[in-house]
Structure 1
């Protein structure tokens, strides 16, 4: 397991200027009323990214505390903020007074101040940017209401299976029960196995780790990608630690419920919290464990500045709070693999051969000479005969899952004659075809929505269209004709089916929209693997394997008759990793390739996007660290939203990551201080790199 020492290249190593929790508590003596308040104002300009000192009016002195909301005059206007310190002295001789104390409720705790400062510096953002992600908006009625007593969690005997089934799992549980700040990644076997409580392998592992930490008298934070998984983990945990003992944080709660749960955590009443990416900042008292599920899911990446990722925030917080960290997933990202190879995180998981014995077997169409002899067109056709054989055999035992990369009918079009991609003549967006009543179709642009009566190829003049990418609706239509009388379920786009019964049915779904079966799918067919692998994205192969393993986890084990069929290039590395059920080996090779190509996480990459003038001013103001390399600027792909913008990439060795982020932030501060025109977006190690 990972030790308590901070490694040279861990996520927290790129933070600078972090103030300790003791400093954040203030230095005023307890019997003397504080005179100075250090405030984090709601100001997003990079050149003003610091705390400001104000004097405390006598009327506020008795109630003022670290973490309360205040208002103060700043640059001629009123600005909201939070008190982050109560120092005895200030570098400024004459201080302006605080204007108002909005609430006496401390909702920004000292340990959060340290974390938010570190996250802002790590991603070249501002403290105010991170603050709005961490603390929900105030709900005055909820704050004034009497808080319902929060029940203490129960600690029943630890259930079996889960982490205990894999090498290293029991050792991890024993060490966190003793309060050790160990760090591990658990490769969960992708198999269908549930108990009477509805828990499968990974939720059972979360329960085991949670109970171990609760017995040690410490708190637990569980972070998952979406609300569906929040409710699922909450319901499973509630059957062990008790109903009502678990707080949850996500945007679908509504302002009152969200703030009430946040207050329960800040007031040290709730000891177990389950939430989406924003919950990673929640002020859990005596935090003993952070659990994070499926770090490869892009929902864990914040789409707003400073574009932080919950995986890395959890890693930074684990070091600062000296608590245990458990990341688990069916696959493995290159970022996690880099931590494992550096010894910062320990792996938990069974060897691939043992995993294959516990899961459904995976076959690939046209993966042998015998398969080609039986079906000579297996490599050319989208639905080879093995697909129909797999579906036919699966329907005899239960529901069958068919995974398709995209929703819609004909999701992409090209010229029938020369295969040139069909583009809108107005905005150059890709065209698609939708099915209408009585089988009629119309062609429209996916960007501007324009409907075209006729289309002609600008290259060869052809007017006939073909569909290289077929959506879930068209796939369901084709399979419905092939299996008449079979119940057909389309779970994609805006119509996602959450649960599936045990009776035979044909379920066509896009990745992530697979209905959860009551007794597992008897078979699964993964179509159009080449399309998923061919996306213009650095993480196309990693994401494809993650999606396939997620579908495989819904299929019954081979000993119960479960089977998986994939239609795609059998020689591809990701396909072979699926066949072998070896995500660790795939991640190791992926990390090697990224190191050779100079991509994260082997290097730190800063990506700046904006107009040519904005990027030019950034380059003049930036003092990149020695060894940094500039790539670009280059024009962005033609897209109506990004028309005329350029992209500049600056990359540096991992050990210079803090200096690179600081240089980018300094350059932004210079631009805003000079009020230079032009919007500019800055990202550190962006998830979507294409």
Structure 2
């Protein structure tokens, strides 16, 4: 018998299956999905058996499998198909993707006796959630009948929580899970981080039983994660909740994949080939004929494109219904009357409306202050000539930190402490801070509101939850702790800083972050208010005031289509030394069917051991020929790999940041 093995070698020209003979002693243990060790190019390598057959096209004598690591299959046929599809979509290799999909082996867990896995209870269907939305009932009914429906749920950013802290979107995911389980099929729920995971797990566990849920995330220990993975691939666990890697979970008879907040950058894999969870779930839903439910308070251009093509069906409220039950949102200096009351309102960081909002909110409970950046003074410039302060060694940005009464300047790239700074342009020693961080903001508000507790939540100091007592909570986006009874008010500072980021998704991302903050504030009928400080006339702030993420996504997609940016086109970036990029262009040839943009030199922190300056080449093609362009890039990478050409290249297909 012959074993066709995917060998763990992430070289593009070796991205295929290799045939090995199975010895008589191995026959009982070798089956598709098991881990093996094989000899390849004189070295022992790990691999996975993908197929067992009695035929081979190799005419010479085959090498035998060196070892069967374990007779326990850890790859399902559906997983193999998905991993191959993801690798091809992102110009990567099977070896790269399988590392993301299969957790490290834990021999003790694998050899232990199998424990029984409780069956989920599906007697109860919670109220609220999807049931309160047009077409929500229809979607749930379709899931109960096993239909492969695909929808985007535009979740209203209203504060809804029961005694257990379960909010609207997690309740909707619970409803969809129960409906799918009633059809006898499995469910995967993917969330950005552990805090969202706990929220969904607790809400879902209260309905179907915590013991019926298998978790997959990095916070689990190696043994616990592998134990859950084995329960999934053995068909014991039918419900999986996890972060990014959970998209590959080998759930048998998969009926539904749910993904929350696809715009969160945590869904973008930082390791090659850099797949995005949103695209992986789309590929999987298509190949396994499973239903798909994506949801969020905001809406990305990618989701909007799928809705306009009819591939996703939107589940959303009308504009009036969307605003009902949400906090009242107002922009500072949004009218001539507001400017008459506060002439400096459009130019100051903390206009009069901010203090009015905070005072009114503190009379009723905690107040959230969202700021874009953590730290004390994360960006500095010369007071005299306004030149940015740069590190004299690596030219990285310099920031100011405060530890008690001590202050220090250091480089954000190389960490070097800067002493005796003098502006190289004008010679001045005076500094100014064009950007204020969360630490400095908390300090300023503490002086403005003496006697009020001020708490900071950012970076690695994230607060889990806030009580109902009056307090000021200064937090960066994504680190906002929920309040047990909702925030009485929220202030969104430095909106222009988010909008001015040199990134294609700056406006989309800013609106997403703001809407997530609005969802933490009590309804306007209970006095909940949100104040945003920024240019009131720009589209993202207008969309925030109207709570209209869908219309903003329409305009965003139209603008990108006009400018020929993703998702209206296939966009591939290749980063590396200029010589290697020029060689890649030659391999692609003049008829590659893409617009070539660049190469351009990158201004980014140097990597360890990096000697050459990095450059970036961008390739752009119509969506209809996007797969063909990706295949050509992958073929060119394979040629470079086979010829052992110098210069490492990093390829990103439709990158999350551009």
TM-score band w.r.t. shorter chain: over 0.9
SS of aligned partner of 1:326 = strand
Which stretch has the larger CA shift, 160-169 or 284-293?
A: 160-169
User: Which of 198, 202, 212 is residue 169 of structure 2 equivalent to?
Assistant: 202
SS of aligned partner of 1:248 = strand
Q: Distance in 2 between matches of 1:393 and 1:560?
A: 12
Equivalent residue number for residue 391 of structure 2: 424
**Pairwise CA distance, 1:296:** 0.4
Equivalent residue number for residue 666 of structure 1: 635
Q: In the alignment, does 2:651 pair up with 1:682?
A: yes
Equivalent residue number for residue 483 of structure 1: 449
Q: Distance in 2 between matches of 1:333 and 1:509?
A: 23
Equivalent residue number for residue 515 of structure 1: 481
Q: In the alignment, does 2:417 pair up with 1:451?
A: yes
Q: Distance in 1 between matches of 2:28 and 2:379?
A: 66
CA contact (8 A) 1:372 1:378 kept: yes
Aligned positions of 1:307-326 closer than 5 A: 307-326=274-293
User: Which of 299, 306, 310 is residue 343 of structure 1 equivalent to?
Assistant: 310
User: Which of 54, 59, 73 is residue 106 of structure 1 equivalent to?
Assistant: 73
Q: Distance in 1 between matches of 2:100 and 2:80?
A: 13
**Pairwise CA distance, 1:624:** 7.1
Aligned residues: 654
Equivalent residue number for residue 179 of structure 2: 212
Q: In the alignment, does 2:229 pair up with 1:288?
A: no
CA contact (8 A) 1:428 1:638 kept: no
1:175-208 CA-partner distances (Å, limit 9, x unpaired): 1111110100001110111123421110010010
User: Which of 522, 537, 546 is residue 556 of structure 1 equivalent to?
Assistant: 522
State the TM-score, normalizing by the size of structure 2. Answer: 0.98
Aligned positions of 1:385-396 closer than 5 A: 385-396=352-363
Decide whether aligned partners of structure 1 residues 623 and 135 sit closer, same or farther in structure 2, where only a CA change above 3 A counts.
farther
Equivalent residue number for residue 503 of structure 1: 469
1:203-257 CA-partner distances (Å, limit 9, x unpaired): 0100100000000000000001112222221111110001211000011111100
Q: Distance in 2 between matches of 1:109 and 1:354?
A: 44
User: Which of 224, 247, 267 is residue 214 of structure 2 equivalent to?
Assistant: 247
CA contact (8 A) 2:602 2:614 kept: yes
Q: In the alignment, does 2:330 pair up with 1:363?
A: yes
User: Which of 229, 232, 242 is residue 199 of structure 2 equivalent to?
Assistant: 232
Q: Distance in 2 between matches of 1:460 and 1:353?
A: 55
Aligned positions of 1:167-182 closer than 5 A: 167-182=134-149
Q: Distance in 2 between matches of 1:624 and 1:258?
A: 48
Q: After TM superposition, what 4+ stretches of structure 1 lie above 4 angstroms from structure 2?
A: 623-626
User: Which of 115, 140, 163 is residue 148 of structure 1 equivalent to?
Assistant: 115
RMSD value, Cα: 1.2
SS of aligned partner of 2:381 = strand
Q: In the alignment, does 2:512 pair up with 1:543?
A: no
Equivalent residue number for residue 5 of structure 1: none
CA contact (8 A) 2:5 2:48 kept: yes
Q: In the alignment, does 2:403 pair up with 1:401?
A: no
Which stretch has the larger CA shift, 320-329 or 89-98?
A: 89-98
Q: Distance in 2 between matches of 1:449 and 1:117?
A: 40
Q: In the alignment, does 2:463 pair up with 1:470?
A: no
Structure 1 residues not aligned, in runs of 5+: 1-34
Aligned positions of 1:602-613 closer than 5 A: 602-613=568-579
CA contact (8 A) 1:37 1:54 kept: yes
Q: Distance in 2 between matches of 1:638 and 1:97?
A: 47
**Pairwise CA distance, 1:452:** 2.6
Q: Distance in 2 between matches of 1:638 and 1:256?
A: 38
SS of aligned partner of 2:210 = coil
Q: In the alignment, does 2:560 pair up with 1:586?
A: no
Q: Distance in 2 between matches of 1:357 and 1:55?
A: 67
Q: Distance in 2 between matches of 1:63 and 1:243?
A: 34
User: Which of 630, 637, 654 is residue 596 of structure 2 equivalent to?
Assistant: 630
CA contact (8 A) 1:117 1:127 kept: yes
Q: In the alignment, does 2:152 pair up with 1:185?
A: yes
1:313-333 CA-partner distances (Å, limit 9, x unpaired): 000000000010000000000
Q: Distance in 2 between matches of 1:502 and 1:291?
A: 32
Equivalent residue number for residue 402 of structure 2: 435
1:369-426 CA-partner distances (Å, limit 9, x unpaired): 1111111000111000110000000000000000011111111111112222111222
Which stretch has the larger CA shift, 673-682 or 635-644?
A: 635-644
